């Protein structure tokens, strides 16, 4: 006996919603391939024994995004001139709605970004994830770190108070002691022989245009290589060591591997 | 083919008329906004409408019903297509020797022109970004007030603006002592030490009592450089708060990280006023006051060695004063 079933109202509505969501996505996919690309980026295969430490990289990325967003908002109220810089900072902190919060996020987030980059670097080092074929990504990561530190250096001058001024004096003169080109570098950074309003505006330009642009470009390359080369297993990984392919039946072995807590069972 | 709907003049005229209308409207805006511009706009609107109508007529026409054309397949078509390895090649093999010289030329020309354009754009931008830091760096002369304000043998902490138009950011400090006339010619002698630490440029402080503690009053001199504050001080030496560099009263390094003695200002006496000239660097000083032998060097940045083998690391300094 054939069973005929008319779809319920809820089913019909469900299908309509799915169609309504899919239509624009299909439209976009057909013209750009972006939906497939996003899916490829987000739903990659990773080793089954990845570790919480392997989220430090995306944590650092998140910290950078927070810096970028709060930085853009701060730039709406900040004035990079010797006469206005400090008063505009005071205005942001004391008068602009939630300004204290956004400035605080940017100030403390800067340290968070640097700390997360170092932790991420430590994880990569200890996992041996910098080895072949990922050497290039280590180098790109180091460049991101250098640009990140330079962001910290240029951003430190912007409040234009005594701490900012003297820290920049010392920092620039420190660059000046580098052999051969040091004095030229320091004079370029100052925009002349002494720190002045020119120094402030060029640090502002570097801080909000040049360096973030460089960091974004390098992060793109960094992620491209992560996707291309895949995620490493932890050094204690049985899966990566190929332990499954020993004499025992693979099903049993897999079950045991899954049951073993991470990092405790020495497989060697 | 069925005859289409009635045609007016050739459709190519519509965009032309539209363009003329826009042109008349634009000229009219300058010549006579009230009439000419209105007429131009009207022409543009009419021709624009006709143009749009003409362009969309294909789409707006009702679609005629067409029956699909059907014919029997020929025996050759029914038979399977021959495999690709059989028969003549679709394209003749390329001739030996010359290989696409034209496309090579175009490739090179594109890259070369791109490089030229890139260079033309980059050179002025790079010059704009880099050169101003090094060109037109001029020294300043600072009038520190009448020589009489500086009793012989007394130290003063003088603060002044190098360039009053730039404001507070150009404020500098110097330690000034009048050494009195120096025989045999009785030339005036001043020891004027810059407060820029020779380590990394922090402000050096005088180690010793100053101003009110000494029971002496601060003096303010008004000169062409604005107001100059002179604070009397009795220094045992000079010390840097940042990293602990220490100097004696001649500016010689006595302890800490500095690599040479404190910089000094040149000076001149103009119409009875003490005038600061540009600064110079000093490796060390032997003797004191008017009798001191000062080992002078061209001004170097903080942390740069001016003598010994380490000076070889800084063969060329950017132009500055």
HEC string for A145-208: HHHHHHHHHHHHHCCCCHHHHHHHHHHHHHHHCCCCCHHHHHHHHHCCCCCCHHHHHHHHHHHH
| pLDDT grade for A249, boundaries at 50, 70 and 90 | very low
B→A contacts (Cβ < 8 Å), by residue, are 130, 132-134, 137, 162, 166-170, 200-203, 242, 300-304, 313-318, 320-321
For A181-193, the pLDDT digits (tens) are 999 999 999 998 8
In this prediction, residue B97 carries a pLDDT of: 63
Q: Determine contact: A196 vs chain B, CB below 8 A.
A: yes
Inter-chain contact A187–B134, Cβ cutoff 8 Å? yes
In this prediction, residue A260 carries a pLDDT of: 44
SS3 B3: coil
Task: Give the integer Cα–Cα distance in Å for B220 and B228.
Answer: 6
Closest partner residue to B201 (CB to CB) among A170, A182, A184 is A170
Contacts with A184 from chain B: Cβ below 8 Å: 134, 316, 318
Position with higher pLDDT, B72 vs B207: B207
Average pLDDT over residues B124-145: 88
Q: Which of A211-225, B7-21, B168-182 has the lowest mean pLDDT?
A: B7-21
In this prediction, residue B80 carries a pLDDT of: 66
In this prediction, residue A262 carries a pLDDT of: 47
For A19-28, the pLDDT digits (tens) are 999 999 999 9
Q: How many other C-beta atoms can be found within 10 angstroms of the C-beta atom of residue A147?
A: 20
From B317's Cα to the closest Cα of chain A, the distance in A is: 6
CA B90 to chain centre: 61
Q: What are the phi and psi torsion angles at B71 (to 5°)?
A: -145, 160
Left, alpha or beta for B226 (phi > 0: left; psi -120 to 50: alpha)? left
Q: Which of B63-77, B142-156, B301-315 has the lowest mean pLDDT?
A: B63-77
The chain-wide mean pLDDT, for chain A, equals 89
Inter-chain contact A188–B301, Cβ cutoff 8 Å? no
pTM of the model: 0.75
Per the CB < 8 A criterion, the answer to whether A160 and A167 are in contact is: no
Site from A80, A85, A187 to mutate, B interface, most B CB atoms within 10 angstroms: A187
Position with higher pLDDT, A253 vs B208: B208
In this prediction, residue A45 carries a pLDDT of: 87
In this prediction, residue A176 carries a pLDDT of: 93
Check whether B62 has a pLDDT greater than 80. no
In this prediction, residue B30 carries a pLDDT of: 86
Q: Determine contact: A181 vs chain B, CB below 8 A.
A: no
Check whether A257 has a pLDDT greater than 90. no
Q: What are the phi and psi torsion angles at B39 (to 5°)?
A: -60, -45
Inter-chain contact A82–B167, Cβ cutoff 8 Å? yes
Inter-chain contact A191–B300, Cβ cutoff 8 Å? no
Task: Give the integer Cα–Cα distance in Å for B211 and B3.
Answer: 108
Average pLDDT over residues A59-77: 97
Task: Give the integer Cα–Cα distance in Å for A166 and A145.
Answer: 24
Inter-chain contact B304–A176, Cβ cutoff 8 Å? yes
Inter-chain contact B169–A187, Cβ cutoff 8 Å? no
A-B interface: how many C-beta pairs under 8 angstroms? 78
**Tokens 């204290």, residue located:** A100
| CA B73, B76, B80, B83 torsion-angle sign | negative
Inter-chain contact B170–A180, Cβ cutoff 8 Å? no
Average pLDDT over residues B148-155: 93
Q: Residue B6 gets which letter from DSSP?
A: P
Check whether A265 has a pLDDT greater than 50. no
How many alpha carbons lie under 13 Å from residue B115 in its C-beta half-sphere? 6
How many alpha carbons lie under 13 Å from residue A36 in its C-beta half-sphere? 7
Average pLDDT over residues B9-37: 85
Structural domains of chain A sorted by starting position, each given as residue range(s) with its CATH number in brackets: 53-232 (1.20.810.10)
Average pLDDT over residues B133-148: 88
Task: Give the integer Cα–Cα distance in Å for A40 and A204.
Answer: 38
| pLDDT grade for B321, boundaries at 50, 70 and 90 | low
Average pLDDT over residues B127-137: 87
Tell me the two tokens of residue B15. 């965009």
In this prediction, residue B65 carries a pLDDT of: 74
Nearest Cα to Cα of residue A169 among B115, B309, B199: B199
| pLDDT grade for B210, boundaries at 50, 70 and 90 | confident
In this prediction, residue B95 carries a pLDDT of: 66
- Report the chain B residue with the minimal C-alpha distance to residue A186: B301
For A122-169, the pLDDT digits (tens) are 999 999 999 999 999 999 999 999 999 999 999 999 999 999 999 999
In this prediction, residue A84 carries a pLDDT of: 94
Contacts with B315 from chain A: Cβ below 8 Å: 180
For B68-106, the pLDDT digits (tens) are 777 777 777 777 666 777 777 777 666 666 666 788 889
Interacting residues of B197 by C-beta distance below 8 A, sequence separation 6+: B203, B204, B240, B242, B245, B258, B262, B302
Contacts with A192 from chain B: Cβ below 8 Å: 132-133, 137, 320
| pLDDT grade for B287, boundaries at 50, 70 and 90 | very high
Contacts with A87 from chain B: Cβ below 8 Å: none
- Report the chain B residue with the minimal C-alpha distance to residue A195: B169
The chain-wide mean pLDDT, for chain B, equals 87
Q: Residue A246 gets which letter from DSSP?
A: S
Check whether A211 has a pLDDT greater than 50. yes
Q: Determine contact: A162 vs chain B, CB below 8 A.
A: no
Interacting residues of B312 by C-beta distance below 8 A, sequence separation 6+: none
From B253's Cα to the closest Cα of chain A, the distance in A is: 18
Contacts with B169 from chain A: Cβ below 8 Å: 82, 195-197
Inter-chain contact B318–A183, Cβ cutoff 8 Å? yes
What are the angstrom distances between the C-alpha of A28 and each of A17, A31, A39, B206, B290? 18, 5, 13, 71, 84
Residues belonging to chain B: 321
Q: What is the ipTM of this complex?
A: 0.74
For A85-136, the pLDDT digits (tens) are 999 999 999 999 999 999 999 999 999 999 999 999 999 999 999 999 999 9
Check whether B12 has a pLDDT greater than 80. no
């Amino acid at each position: 006996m054939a069973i005929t079933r008319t779809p319920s109202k809820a089913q019909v509505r469900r299908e309509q919603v799915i169609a309504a969501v899919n239509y624009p996505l299909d439209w976009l996919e057909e013209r750009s391939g972006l939906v497939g690309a996003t899916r490829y980026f987000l739903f990659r295969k990773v080793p089954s024994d990845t570790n919480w430490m392997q989220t430090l990289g995306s944590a650092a990325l998140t910290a950078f995004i927070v810096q970028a967003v709060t930085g853009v908002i701060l730039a709406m109220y900040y004035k990079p001139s010797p006469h206005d810089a400090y008063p505009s900072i005071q205005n942001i902190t004391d008068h602009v709605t939630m300004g204290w919060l956004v400035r605080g996020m940017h100030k403390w987030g800067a340290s968070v970004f640097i700390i997360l980059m170092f932790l991420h670097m430590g994880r990569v080092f200890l996992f041996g994830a910098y080895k072949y074929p990922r050497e290039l990504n280590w180098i790109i990561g180091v460049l991101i770190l250098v640009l990140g530190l330079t962001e910290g250096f240029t951003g430190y001058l912007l409040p234009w108070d005594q701490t900012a001024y003297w820290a920049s004096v010392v920092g620039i003169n420190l660059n000046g002691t580098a052999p051969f080109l040091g004095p030229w570098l320091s004079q370029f950074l100052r925009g002349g022989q002494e720190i002045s309003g020119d120094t402030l505006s060029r640090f502002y330009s570097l801080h909000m245009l040049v360096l973030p642009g460089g960091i974004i470009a390098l992060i793109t390359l960094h992620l491209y290589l992560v996707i291309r080369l895949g995620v490493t297993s932890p050094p204690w990984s049985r899966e990566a060591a190929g332990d499954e392919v020993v004499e025992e039946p693979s099903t049993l072995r897999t079950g045991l591997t899954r049951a073993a807590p991470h990092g405790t069972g020495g497989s060697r | 083919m069925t005859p289409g709907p009635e045609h007016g003049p050739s459709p190519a005229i519509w965009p032309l008329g539209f363009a003329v209308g826009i042109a008349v409207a634009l000229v009219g805006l300058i010549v006579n906004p009230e009439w000419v511009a209105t007429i131009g706009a009207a022409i543009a609107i009419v021709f624009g409408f006709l143009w749009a109508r003409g362009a969309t007529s294909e789409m707006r026409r009702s679609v005629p019903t067409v029956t699909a054309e059907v014919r029997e397949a020929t025996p050759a078509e029914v038979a399977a297509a021959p495999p690709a390895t059989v028969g003549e090649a679709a394209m003749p093999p390329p001739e030996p020797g010359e290989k696409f010289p034209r496309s090579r030329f175009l490739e090179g020309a594109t890259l070369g022109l791109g490089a030229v354009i890139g260079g033309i754009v980059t050179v002025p931008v790079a010059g704009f970004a880099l050169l101003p830091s090094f060109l037109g760096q001029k020294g300043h002369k600072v009038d520190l007030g009448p020589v009489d304000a500086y009793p012989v043998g007394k130290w003063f902490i003088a603060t002044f603006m190098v360039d009053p138009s730039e404001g507070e950011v150009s404020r500098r400090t110097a330690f000034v002592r009048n050494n009195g006339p120096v025989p045999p010619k009785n030339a005036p002698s001043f020891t004027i030490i810059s407060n820029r630490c020779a380590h990394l440029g922090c402000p050096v402080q005088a180690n010793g009592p100053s101003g009110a503690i000494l029971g002496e009053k601060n003096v303010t001199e008004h000169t062409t450089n604005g107001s100059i504050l002179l604070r009397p001080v009795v220094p045992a030496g000079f010390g840097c708060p940042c990293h602990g560099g220490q100097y004696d009263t001649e500016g010689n390094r006595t302890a800490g990280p500095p690599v040479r003695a404190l910089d000094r200002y040149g000076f001149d006496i103009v119409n009875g006023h003490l005038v600061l000239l540009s600064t110079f660097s000093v490796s060390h000083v032997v003797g004191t006051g008017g009798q001191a032998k000062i080992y002078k060097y061209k001004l170097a940045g903080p942390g740069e060695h001016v003598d010994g083998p380490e000076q070889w690391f800084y063969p060329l300094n950017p132009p500055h004063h």
